[in-house]
Amino acid sequence: MTDLERIRHYYKSFDEWGRLDTDAGALELRVVLEVISKYLEPPAHIFDLGGGAGRYTFELAKLGFRMSLGDLSQDLIDVAKSRLMNHEVSTRVDRIAVVNALELGEFPDQSFENVLLFGPLYHLTEASEINQCLAGIYRILKPGGKVFASFIPYHCGIMSIVERSLFRPEQVGSEELRLVSRQGTFRNRSSAGFQEGNYLESPAVEAHFREAGFKKILLRSIRGIGYKNEREILALEESRPEYFTTVMEVLHQTAGELPIVETCGHAMYIGEKARGESLESTLHE
pLDDT in tens, the chain (285 residues): 888 888 887 888 778 899 999 999 999 999 999 999 999 999 999 999 999 999 999 999 999 999 999 999 999 999 999 999 989 999 999 999 999 999 999 999 999 999 999 999 999 999 999 999 999 999 999 999 999 999 999 999 999 999 999 999 999 999 999 999 999 999 999 988 888 889 999 999 999 999 999 999 999 999 999 999 999 999 999 999 999 999 999 999 999 999 999 999 999 999 999 987 544 444 444
| Spatial distance between the Cα atoms of 84 and 102, rounded to a whole number of angstroms | 25
Pairing of strands 141-153, 112-117: parallel
Of 144, 142, 139, whose CA–CA distance to 279 is shortest?
Answer: 139
Q: Is the dihedral of CA 121, 123, 128, 134 positive or negative?
A: negative
Instruction: Count CB-CB contacts under 10 A for residue 165.
Output: 17
Task: Report which of 86, 79, 69 is spatially closest to residue 12, judged by C-alpha positions.
Answer: 79
**Rounded-to-integer distance, Cα 180 and Cα 6, Å:** 18
The C-alpha atoms of residue 74 and residue 239 are separated, in whole angstroms, by 42
- State which fold the 4-154+197-275 domain adopts: Rossmann fold (3.40.50)
What is the per-residue pLDDT for 176?
A: 96
